[in-house]
């Protein structure tokens, strides 16, 4: 079932941009390394399905995340298309050097709202990680590249428990002050609920952060990703991170399973009459194909439902 009548709700945006993270966040957790040619075809299929932002890879040390050790080779083979963005994650200046040399014009830096995760993910404190990001952002901007900021563990941390809203806001503001055009708020272990989402967004708003500066990145560990997304849209957020087929999580947080599946997000938004520019049928077929490459079913509920129909 793909043709449905939309039933809009008041207070939602007319259009949402989906920031597709499957090729990077989705594949970084795989037990086996996916061949570069398969990654390239995955990205091309996602673009063919109508996704205009596809995070292609990460220029991280191959011994840290071997699944993404082919970043240069992958980027070199991508067919760049007008109107499509191919951002990459860069952890430090070395990663930035590699990205800029590859012709990348949009990068992302990945911070943490908690000290424990900052140490586990970056082997640095929050202050030390911000200090590491500062020259990355400065040099990227000077080179004409845009910089996105991620904040992980915004709603809870497996080691520290609840994360104070004010703590998240302070870290986020520091990344925005570095020149990030957009800040993605991550529910890395999927414990957020709509009221918590509203409280966090309100706290950013009280500090002068506008809806156009924020994106959300929900994991579906406890089945709350879509409910949380609707609350974020009601607040004014119009950029939502998602992963085709529901692939991925976080390699440094074992409980961080279940990225919000792009298909599930598109199904929701279509039912609400919110434009995405995505062809759901093509997207489902892409995730089916990728699941075959990985040798296991796609976690996405919509992929499963449409594959059975």
What distance in Å separates the CA atoms of residue 61 and residue 300, rounded to the nearest whole number? Answer: 30
User: If you classify domain 17-308 with CATH, what class do you get?
Assistant: alpha beta
The answer to whether 2 touches 281, Cβ cutoff 8 Å, is yes
Question: Which residues in 9-34 are b (16+ Cβ under 10 Å) and which e?
Answer: eeebbeebbbbbbbbbbbbbbbeeeb
Q: Please pick, among 78, 250, 256, 268, the residue that the annotation labels catalytic.
A: 250
Which H/E stretch holds residue 148?
strand 146-152
Q: Is 180 a catalytic residue?
A: no
Instruction: Please report, for the chain, the start and end positions of each structural domain, with discontinuous segments joined by +.
Output: 17-308
What is the per-residue pLDDT for 296? 87
Q: What is the pTM of this model?
A: 0.96
pLDDT digits (tens, 9 = 90+) for 64-109: 899 999 999 999 999 999 999 999 999 999 999 999 999 999 999 9
The answer to whether 159 touches 116, Cβ cutoff 8 Å, is yes
Q: What are the tokens at 232?
A: 């974020």
pLDDT digits (tens, 9 = 90+) for 269-289: 999 999 999 999 999 999 999
What is the per-residue pLDDT for 229? 98
**Percentage of the chain surpassing pLDDT 90?**
88
Q: Average pLDDT of 10-37?
A: 94
pLDDT at 255 exceeding the cut of 80: no
CB hemisphere CA count around 97 (13 angstroms): 4
């Amino acid at each position: 079932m793909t043709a449905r009548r939309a039933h809009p709700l008041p207070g939602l945006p007319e259009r949402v941009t989906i920031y597709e993270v499957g090729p990077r966040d989705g594949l970084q957790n795989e037990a086996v390394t996916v061949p570069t040619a398969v990654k390239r075809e995955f990205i091309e299929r996602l673009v063919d399905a109508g996704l205009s932002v596809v995070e292609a890879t990460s220029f991280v040390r191959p011994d840290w995340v071997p699944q993404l050790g082919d970043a240069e080779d992958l980027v070199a083979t991508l067919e760049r298309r007008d109107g499509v963005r191919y951002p990459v994650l860069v952890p430090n200046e070395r990663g930035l050097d590699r990205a800029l040399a590859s012709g990348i014009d949009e990068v992302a830096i990945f911070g943490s709202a908690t000290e424990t995760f900052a140490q586990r993910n970056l082997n640095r404190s929050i202050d030390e990680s911000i200090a590491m990001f500062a020259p990355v952002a400065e040099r990227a901007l000077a080179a004409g590249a845009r910089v996105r900021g991620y904040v992980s563990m915004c709603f809870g941390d497996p080691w520290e428990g609840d994360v104070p809203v004010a703590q998240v806001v302070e870290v986020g503001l520091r990344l925005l002050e570095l020149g990030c055009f957009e800040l993605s708020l991550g529910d890395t272990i999927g414990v957020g609920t709509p009221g918590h989402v509203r409280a966090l967004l309100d706290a950013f708003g009280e500090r002068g952060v506008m809806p156009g500066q924020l994106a959300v990145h929900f994991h579906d560990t406890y089945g709350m990703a879509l409910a949380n997304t609707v609350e974020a849209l009601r607040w004014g957020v119009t950029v939502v991170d998602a992963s085709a087929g529901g692939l991925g999580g976080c390699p440094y947080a074992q409980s961080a399973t279940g990225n919000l599946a792009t298909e599930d997000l598109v199904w929701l938004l279509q039912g609400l009459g919110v434009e995405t520019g995505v062809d759901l049928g093509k997207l489902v077929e892409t995730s089916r194909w990728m699941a075959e490459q990985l040798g296991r079913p796609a976690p996405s509920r919509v992929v499963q439902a449409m594959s059975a129909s």
